[in-house]
């Protein structure tokens, strides 16, 4: 047992520094310590995308000689003066020189006549029916670039055409900003390199890959060092080695103040810790350290925390060292589809998925778990809840920092409602058939989907709600919750619900009644989901006391999660669809067939992306994919069902 007193001692060191102060302190301290731009000279052909470190002066003119701009003849323009349609000028062979485009203008010549306007008159003489203006059809020296002129200013990005201009100006090498090299040191006894076959307790090392890709996007180069175990001395050695080779070092994990958190001590022993602990969530246990002019950032182990700490603390430094134009964050206003509750103590970063429903941009908060890396992958934006603010209510308008171009959001189909594995297949088919449509699903259950449609926050809701009195699916609930209509119900599939159990059914379950047996671990779906409503109904019908079912309160948000927990022997049974059981090769006790439909509001019906979805529903490709998933029956997917 670890000593609690010691823990409290250690926790004292985690401060709560406001983010803006920490950012400012860090940059100022590093600048005072001499952190600055480094430059290197490289061949101009390799300079595409780089930032100039000094103005680039043309070494020669472009063109560097007077060049013919046409195929034709060169001559002294004065010889042609007076030529006209009626009184052509005839020139002898020695009075002109034939030349092609790009040829140098011969001495004594100051004009070029296009070959089409030159009429041969025999013996090498030619007739000209029009006078030539001096310097016509000649690309004069310096027409494009004059030697000595500045071709590119300092701190400018080398574009393709700038590359061409520099070569044309006789420039063969240029001084550019050296890309900072960021070393990433992953630490932790439990960390293992990426594999598809980890042991229990192994944590796959994916943070370095994420961080490295982010840093490269901002213009840095990266070096990922081998994994270091939780040992202060070894971490210090790794830091010293990385500092020799790199301009910036990231020490990943161990940045908190627990007994096995060595990052702060390690940084202090090779340099200085400026701040430890920020008033942000996620990302609190960050360490802002440095050694001389080099930042050493201690980054928490959870990927979402790490991404936010690196984005907030390191990005400004990388962009300073790269001298890349700081890409000012773009914000937009959006309507929250769900309340966001935050703590007063921290500035909180909440990832959201967004889409336009009608005229309104709707933002749906994604999972806030620090370990949920997919929440960043799916995010279209980030809501920054300031320190001292309790959060924002559902339906309120909030500022969202955009993570992708706003235009893309216009092609984002917002699907909120019941989960079914077929949604993934729909998204994939939309993607293959119509590359410009993306689909974002939030799994809030059938009831949640109906409410989202009612509030005008979704284009589509998956729903399978059984009216137990009539046996009717969906339409009864829609009539009750959306009595004014304004929606269309699109037939999707019949699917089989049943009890998912482990392979071979070791607990011998035969039906709902078997769920209350002792030693059986059930895993449930969340309240409001159609599947939860179904199991509640089935239990009440059979007179089963659900408080007797162990795990009835253990709530998952998808059929797949339920199946995954059973497959991992973390649970024994759960209600779900056949396709989820099949995915994990589990046994399945069918309970009933139900109708899974898609509800679409009238105002969204004519949207091209909605019509594309309907097309996909009707396609044979969809049928084929559902046959592969198993447990579905397709009658007339994509057709309208009566509601009223």
Query: Interaction with a copy of itself in 58-97: which residues (CB under 8 A)?
Result: 59-67, 69, 71, 93
For residues 308 and 348, the answer to whether their CB atoms sit within 8 Å is no
**Largest Cα–Cα distance of the chain, in whole Å?**
117
For residues 595 and 464, the answer to whether their CB atoms sit within 8 Å is yes
| C-beta closer to a copy of itself: residue 106 or 388 | 106
Among 237, 293, 428, 467, binds a copy of itself (CB under 8 A): 428
| C-beta closer to a copy of itself: residue 157 or 455 | 157
Least distance (Å) between residue 487 CB and a copy of itself: 27
Alpha-carbon gap, residue 598 to 596, rounded angstroms: 7
Among 240, 584, 618, 634, binds a copy of itself (CB under 8 A): 584
| C-beta closer to a copy of itself: residue 156 or 343 | 156
For residues 299 and 255, the answer to whether their CB atoms sit within 8 Å is yes
| C-beta closer to a copy of itself: residue 71 or 467 | 71
Least distance (Å) between residue 537 CB and a copy of itself: 24
Among 31, 92, 150, 329, binds a copy of itself (CB under 8 A): 150
Q: For residue 421, what is the enclosing H or E element? A: none
| C-beta closer to a copy of itself: residue 96 or 392 | 96
Among 583, 589, 591, 643, binds a copy of itself (CB under 8 A): 583
Check residue 231 for interaction with a copy of itself (CB under 8 A): no
- DSSP assignment of 470-529: TTEESHHHHHHH-TT--EEEEEEEEEEEEEEE-TT-TT---SGGGGGSTT--B-EEPTTS
Q: Which stretch binds a copy of itself (CB under 8 A): 363-371, 462-470, 541-549, 636-644?
A: 363-371
Least distance (Å) between residue 233 CB and a copy of itself: 20
| C-beta closer to a copy of itself: residue 90 or 100 | 100
Q: What tokens appear for 10 in the block?
A: 């250690």
Check residue 1 for interaction with a copy of itself (CB under 8 A): yes
Q: Within a 13 Å sphere around the CA of 246, how many CA atoms are in the beta-carbon half?
A: 27
Among 329, 432, 592, 621, binds a copy of itself (CB under 8 A): 432
Q: Which of residues 247-266 bind a copy of itself (CB under 8 A)?
A: 258-260
| Cβ atoms within 10 Å, residue 229 | 12
Check residue 616 for interaction with a copy of itself (CB under 8 A): no
Count of residues that interact with a copy of itself, criterion CB under 8 A: 131
Least distance (Å) between residue 466 CB and a copy of itself: 26
As a whole number of Å, the CA-based R_g of the chain is 35
Among 558, 612, 616, 632, binds a copy of itself (CB under 8 A): 558
Backbone angles phi, psi at 224, to 5 degrees: -100, 120
Least distance (Å) between residue 505 CB and a copy of itself: 20
Alpha-carbon gap, residue 560 to 421, rounded angstroms: 7
Alpha-carbon gap, residue 573 to 565, rounded angstroms: 9
Among 14, 19, 83, 145, binds a copy of itself (CB under 8 A): 145
Alpha-carbon gap, residue 531 to 528, rounded angstroms: 8
Which of 129, 111, 112 lies closest to 120, judged by CA? 129
Name the β-bridge partners of 51: 157
Check residue 377 for interaction with a copy of itself (CB under 8 A): yes
Q: Which of residues 467-496 bind a copy of itself (CB under 8 A)?
A: none
Which of 207, 200, 160, 188 lies closest to 44, judged by CA? 160
**Going by DSSP bridges, is the β-strand pair 173-177/438-443 parallel, antiparallel, or unpaired?**
unpaired
Check residue 41 for interaction with a copy of itself (CB under 8 A): no
Name the β-bridge partners of 635: none
Among 164, 388, 395, 608, binds a copy of itself (CB under 8 A): 164
| C-beta closer to a copy of itself: residue 61 or 288 | 61
| Cβ atoms within 10 Å, residue 171 | 20
Among 36, 82, 148, 388, binds a copy of itself (CB under 8 A): 148
| C-beta closer to a copy of itself: residue 478 or 563 | 563
Which residue bears the tokens 């310097």?
135
Alpha-carbon gap, residue 335 to 452, rounded angstroms: 12
Among 103, 293, 587, 615, binds a copy of itself (CB under 8 A): 103
Among 33, 272, 343, 376, binds a copy of itself (CB under 8 A): 376
Check residue 299 for interaction with a copy of itself (CB under 8 A): no
For residues 176 and 47, the answer to whether their CB atoms sit within 8 Å is yes
String of contacts with a copy of itself for each residue 104-133, x by CB under 8 A = x----------xx-xxx---x-x-------
Distances (CA, A) of 485 to 392, 491, 545: 30, 17, 37
């Amino acid at each position: 047992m670890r000593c609690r007193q010691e823990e409290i001692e250690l926790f004292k060191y985690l401060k709560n520094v406001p983010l803006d102060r920490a950012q400012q302190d860090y940059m100022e301290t590093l600048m005072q310590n001499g952190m600055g731009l480094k430059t290197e000279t490289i061949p101009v052909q390799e300079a595409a995308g780089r930032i100039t470190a000094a103005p680039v002066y043309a070494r020669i003119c472009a063109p560097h000689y007077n060049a013919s701009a046409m195929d034709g003849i060169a001559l002294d323009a004065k010889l042609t003066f007076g030529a006209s349609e009626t009184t052509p000028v005839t020139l002898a062979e020695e009075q002109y020189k034939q030349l092609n485009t790009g040829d140098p203008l011969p001495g004594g010549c100051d004009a070029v006549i296009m070959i089409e306007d030159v009429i041969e008159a025999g013996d090498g003489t030619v007739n000209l029916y029009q006078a030539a203006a001096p310097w016509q059809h000649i690309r004069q020296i310096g027409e494009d670039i004059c030697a000595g002129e500045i071709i590119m200013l300092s701190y400018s990005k080398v574009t393709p055409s700038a590359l061409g201009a520099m070569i044309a100006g006789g420039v063969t090498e240029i001084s550019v900003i050296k890309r900072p090299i960021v070393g990433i040191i992953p630490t932790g006894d439990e960390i293992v390199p990426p594999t598809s076959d980890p042991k229990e307790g192994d944590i796959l090392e994916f943070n370095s890959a994420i961080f490295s890709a982010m840093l490269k996007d901002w213009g840095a180069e990266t070096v990922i060092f081998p994994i270091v175990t939780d040992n202060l001395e070894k971490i210090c050695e790794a830091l010293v080695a990385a500092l020799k080779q790199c301009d910036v070092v990231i020490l990943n994990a161990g940045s908190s103040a627990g007994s096995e958190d060595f990052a702060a001590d390690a940084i202090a022993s090779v340099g200085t810790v400026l701040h430890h602990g920020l008033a942000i969530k996620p990302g609190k246990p960050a360490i802002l350290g440095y050694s001389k002019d080099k930042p050493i950032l201690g980054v928490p182990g959870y990927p979402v925390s790490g991404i936010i700490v690196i984005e907030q603390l390191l990005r400004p430094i990388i962009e300073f060292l790269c001298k890349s134009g700081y890409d000012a964050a773009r914000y937009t206003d959006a309507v929250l589809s769900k309340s966001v509750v935050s703590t007063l103590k921290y500035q909180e970063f909440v990832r959201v998925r967004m889409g336009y429903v009608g005229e309104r941009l709707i933002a749906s908060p994604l999972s806030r778990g620090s370990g949920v890396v997919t929440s960043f992958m799916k995010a279209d934006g980030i809501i920054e809840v300031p320190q001292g603010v309790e959060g924002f209510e559902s339906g309120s308008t909030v500022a969202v920092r955009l993570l992708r171009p706003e235009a893309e959001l216009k092609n984002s189909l917002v699907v909120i409602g019941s989960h079914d594995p077929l949604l993934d297949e729909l998204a994939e088919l939309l993607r293959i058939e119509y590359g410009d449509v993306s689909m974002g699903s939030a799994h809030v259950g059938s009831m949640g989907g109906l409410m989202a449609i009612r509030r005008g926050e979704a284009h589509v809701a998956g729903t399978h709600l059984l009216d137990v009195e009539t046996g009717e699916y969906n339409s009864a609930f829609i009539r009750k919750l959306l009595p004014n209509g304004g929606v269309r119900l699109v037939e999707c599939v019949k699917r089989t619900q049943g009890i998912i159990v482990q392979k071979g059914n070791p607990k011998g379950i035969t039906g709902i009644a078997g769920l209350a047996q002792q030693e059986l671990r059930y895993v449930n779906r969340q309240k409001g989901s159609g599947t939860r409503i179904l199991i509640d109904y089935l239990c009440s019908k059979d007179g089963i006391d659900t408080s007797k079912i162990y795990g009835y309160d253990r709530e998952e948000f998808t059929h797949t999660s339920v199946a995954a927990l059973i497959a991992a022997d973390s649970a024994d049974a759960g209600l779900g669809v056949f396709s989820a059981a099949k995915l994990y090769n589990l046994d399945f006790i069918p309970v009933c067939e139900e109708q899974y439909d898609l509800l679409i509001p009238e105002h969204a019906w004519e949207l091209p992306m909605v019509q594309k979805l309907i097309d996909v529903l009707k396609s044979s490709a969809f049928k084929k994919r559902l046959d592969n998933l198993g447990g579905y029956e397709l009658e007339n997917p994509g057709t309208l069902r009566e509601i009223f």
